[in-house]
Structures are given as C-alpha cells and as structure tokens.
Amino acid sequence: MSLPNRRRPTQEKAAGPRLRCFLRYALLLAVAAGFCSATAAFATTCPPTEELGVNKLQGEVYGPSGIPLPQILILVSKDGKFVSKTKTDGSGKFEFKARAGLYDLKLQFVGSISMDLKVRVGRGHGSLFHPARLRAVLGLSGTRCGFATTNSKEFKKAMKRYGAQLQEKQH
C-alpha cells in the first residue's frame, strides 16, 4: 500500500515543471505580441519631425524619463547615401565631423524603435560659445512619440510633460 503513495508525488513533481515552462512561454509570447502591436500602432501615429539646424553635428539621446541612453546606433546619410555611423557613449552623447549641408539621421534602439531626423549643419545655428546641440528623446515602450530639439528651454518643458505622463500611467 505504501508503494503507490510514493509514486504519486514523483508524477506530480514531473507535471509541475512542465506546466511552469508552458506558462512562462505563453506569458512571453503574450508580452511579445502585445509589444509588437503597441509598437506598430505607435509607429503609425507619430508625425515626422521638423528640420533642425546645428553648427556641429553633435547631440545627446535620452529616454522618456530623461535618462541618457548609451549604445544608441546613429546612422548618417546625405542625399540618400550613407556617410557614417556611431553609437552614443555612456552619457548618451554623439558627435560627427560633418561639412555644411542637409543630413538624415536615423537613431535606432535595439533594432526596433527608431527615429528619423533631418538636420541642417552650417553657420548661423547657435553661437560660437553656445553651439546648438541636438537633443533627441526616443519614445520607448509606446509611451509617446519621440521628439528632437536644439532649444534647451523647449527640451526642459517637454521633459516635464513626459515625466507627468509617465507618473499618470503608473497610477
């Protein structure tokens, strides 16, 4: 009589890990499907950004919470031809040597979330002592559309709005 009782716990233990494994994969699939549909809806509703002017092709990339984002891939092209690429440093900063002209920048986060910018490089944007610096905020996790600016006051106001929206979503 004691022999069948010993087998049952062993059979129950074998079913537990299988069920947990199945539930983990089902949860992972549901999260991935939700993220993909949210990203697709998010990407179709964001308006294109306006052309920005800088005297040097340099800037910083931030997340919606205002934290600088390292390792963001930045691709630069001019007249439809690839010019250069780099990644942001640990402080979210990047810099390219570029002559005057209109450039297309593509900021890419983990291959899925990206932002396209048109940037005009040349004199007359900013001053000698305070060059216009590009500040881009990627709209990660479907929080909102990303934005870019060279105006520090506009950047600070937008970051306050982002912070308020993130707090509303948490509550």
What is the residue-wise DSSP string for the chain? -HHHHHHHHHHHHHHHHHHHHHHHHHHHHHHHHHHHHHHHHHHHHPPPPPPEEESSEEEEEE-TTS-B-SS-EEEEEETTEEEEEEE--TTSEEEE---SEEEEEEEEETTTEEEEEEEEESTTSB-SSSB--EEEE--GGGSS--EEES-HHHHHHHHHHHHHHHHHHH-
Residues 53 and 65 in one domain: yes
Residue with tokens 């991935």: 32
How far apart are the C-alpha atoms of 18 and 170, rounded to whole Å? Answer: 34
pLDDT of 73: 94
61 and 3 in a single domain? The answer is: no
Question: Higher model confidence: residue 159 or residue 24?
Answer: 159
Better-predicted residue by pLDDT, 43 or 24: 24
Work out how many domains the chain is built from and give that number. Answer: 2
What is the arithmetic mean of pLDDT over 39-61?
73
- Total residue count of the chain as it appears in this document: 171
- Do 73 and 19 share a domain, yes or no? no
Does 140 share its domain with 98? yes
134 burial class (0-12, 13-18, 19+ CB within 10 angstroms)?
buried
Per-residue confidence (pLDDT) for residue 44, from 0 to 100: 44
Domain range holding 10? Answer: 1-45
- Only one residue has tokens 């402080």, namely 91
User: Which of 46-55, 106-115, 147-156, 158-167 is least confident?
Assistant: 158-167
- Structure-token pair, residue 135: 């500040």
Are 38 and 62 contained in the same domain?
A: no
Same domain, 66 and 12: no
Residue 93 confidence class, pLDDT cut points 50, 70, 90:
very high
Assign 41 a pLDDT band (cuts: 50, 70, 90): very low
In the predicted structure, residue 85 carries a pLDDT above the cut 90: yes
